[in-house]
Structure 1
Amino acid sequence: MMLSTHTGLGLERQGMFRSTERISKEETDNFDDEMQSDGNGPVEVSEGLQSVALIDNRTLRRECLRRSLVSQRISWVVAGYGSVEEWSTSEDLHPPLAAIVFHLGAQKATDAADQIKKIVSSAGALPVIVLADSDDIVQIVSALDYGVRGYIPSSVSIEVCVEAINLALAGGVYVPASSVFAIRQSITSDTSRNSRLVELFTPRQIKVADAIRQGKPNKIIAYELNMCESTVKVHIRNIMQKLKATNRTEIAYKIRDLFPSDTA
């Protein structure tokens, strides 16, 4: 009798769980059918809505992002696609396209240059926004050079992601604040270095000092700067006096932070 009671209770709980699961799925399906598209077929939407194509070759990641965007009660439809080709063949199944979001994930913009350029070319006048894990300034600038109208790092909140897309839809260009600060810091540092160099050396001495920093011998310096080797020695002597250095190695050490690391 005891066993029968427990068995009945277990079945009752199972029934409750299944009922809850069914309701949850029905609610989700209804919401998706009314408001959004998963990229696999036509969707009934209100007249006048526009769509944003989300291109991501990772199905689970794409669907998670799509549902996260939908949860923000956005005013545009999100249609998910695994590739540019899939978007091209399904475009007529959805409302007029307003923008494209290309999810790179861990891939760098520079490594996906051909894909980004292809999407930008296919989009025509429509804004293309890149979403990626990296917030490296080089990757952001490279993506902008390829023609995108926004770069969203995955470190931002879903609210910021929505606002970034809205900005692109309104004709603006979104870049993360961290990249703006990085550019500002780079400009400030370059200006500071240039000012210090001008204070210390003449234009000719700056070129000689940079050549010393790169480890070039006097003959090469004289050839590249079109001057006599004896003149190079005079410049080096004057540079040593200004820096209070005793040899070329000490010169290179003391000026190492005054020149960009990629100076050739």
Structure 2
Amino acid sequence: MEHSSDAVAASKPDFEPQISATVSVPSLSADRHRTLVAIDPRTLERQCFLRCVELAHPDLPVTGCGSIAEWQARADLAGAAQVVLYNTGNREVAEPAVQAELTALVAAAGPSPVLVLGVSNDLREMITAFDCGAKGYLPASVGIDDIVEATRLTSSGGIFLPMASLGALREALANKPEPRSSVEDQLTERQLAVCNALRRGKSNKIIAYELNLCESTVKVHIRNIMKKLRATNRTEAAFKLNATYFDSEDARAN
């Protein structure tokens, strides 16, 4: 089922992604014709979702596919401007099979952003989705408007995470806070500088340039920082640094 629509007036989203200070949100006007493609093997749920979007946002082109293979076989979608919404159903993103599917989908989608509609606000689910290349994660508790807003934001190059999910991230991290003094005592002055850049979402290349280091040295520092923070990847390390380590410094600076 596919629907086309007339041009939609560009509007600036009122949501500001809080994952990284480097995320930018350009104008929506260039990508306002993108089609929202919902991939969900459950026929009834998929059709109900499509119908709800059509009724609530008739200006947004929307269509659905029962599988990634069906989506790839759709000649009308080949090369089309689109945002792909991947519904995990009752499965968790952390499951190896789901990770493999999502990674393959992101690769096949190319420049088209992929959103994940998952089962919960679980921290690991969100981080895994982003590690697989997704541009947004939405728990099943969100509404149609949230999904449409995510479509528009990611169409413009942004990253989407609902405010409710950000709250869940902070709550999850607060349950097992890393003692600030013990972490600080274990970090060198150079590692602290790398931490500050890492939590702001800067790449290894930028960190190396700003701190006058070799990129390989930056990688070693980040690996050691992740170990001391007990983080499994740099995304989780950045979350922990923002939520538990640099909060008091930011408060004093303000």
Shared fold (TM-score, shorter chain, > 0.5)? yes
Q: Please give the root-mean-square deviation of Cα atoms over the aligned residues, in Å.
A: 3.2
Greater relative CO (CA pairs within 8 A, separation 6+): 2
The answer to whether the 8 A contact 1:79-1:94 is kept is no
1:138 and 1:93 map into 2 onto residues whose CA distance is 32
CA shift, 1:160, in A, is 1.6
State the AA in 1 paired with 2:128.
S
State the AA in 2 paired with 1:84.
I
Alpha-carbon deviations, 1:22-73, whole Å to 9, x = none? xxxxxxxxxxxxxxxx16xxx6765894322111000001001111111122
Please give the TM-score of this superposition, normalised by the length of structure 2.
0.55
Of 58, 64, 84, the match for 1:80: 64
Aligned twin of 1:131: 117
Alpha-carbon deviations, 1:216-242, whole Å to 9, x = none? xxxxxxxxxxxxxxxxxxxxxxxxxxx
User: Aligned in 2, Cα 1:56/1:186: closer, same or farther, shift over 3 Å?
Assistant: closer
2:129 and 2:53 map into 1 onto residues whose CA distance is 23
Q: Which structure 1 segments of 5+ residues have no match?
A: 1-37, 204-258
Of 129, 147, 165, the match for 1:161: 147
Aligned twin of 2:160: 174
User: Aligned in 2, Cα 1:113/1:198: closer, same or farther, shift over 3 Å?
Assistant: closer
The number of residues matched between the two structures is: 163
Aligned twin of 2:100: 114
% identity of equivalent residues: 29
Of 117, 132, 137, the match for 1:146: 132
User: Aligned in 2, Cα 1:52/1:81: closer, same or farther, shift over 3 Å?
Assistant: same
The answer to whether the 8 A contact 2:40-2:64 is kept is yes
State the AA in 2 paired with 1:52.
L
CA shift, 1:100, in A, is 0.5
1:69 aligns with 2:38: no
1:103 aligns with 2:82: no
Higher CA-based Rg: 1
The answer to whether the 8 A contact 1:52-1:97 is kept is no
State the AA in 1 paired with 2:147.
C
CA shift, 1:181, in A, is 2.5
User: Aligned in 2, Cα 1:193/1:133: closer, same or farther, shift over 3 Å?
Assistant: same
User: Aligned in 2, Cα 1:107/1:186: closer, same or farther, shift over 3 Å?
Assistant: closer
Q: For 1:71, what is the secondary structure of its paired residue?
A: helix
- Which structure 2 residues correspond to residues 1-264 of structure 1 after superposition, within 5 A? 38=1, 49-92=33-76, 96-111=80-95, 112-185=98-171, 193-195=179-181, 197=182
The answer to whether the 8 A contact 2:121-2:168 is kept is no
1:125 and 1:76 map into 2 onto residues whose CA distance is 19
Please give the TM-score of this superposition, normalised by the length of structure 1.
0.54
2:78 and 2:105 map into 1 onto residues whose CA distance is 18
Between structures 1 and 2, the one with greater helix share: 1
1:158 and 1:52 map into 2 onto residues whose CA distance is 12
The answer to whether the 8 A contact 1:53-1:97 is kept is no
CA shift, 1:164, in A, is 1.5
CA shift, 1:137, in A, is 1.1
2:77 and 2:122 map into 1 onto residues whose CA distance is 36
Aligned twin of 2:196: none
1:187 and 1:115 map into 2 onto residues whose CA distance is 28
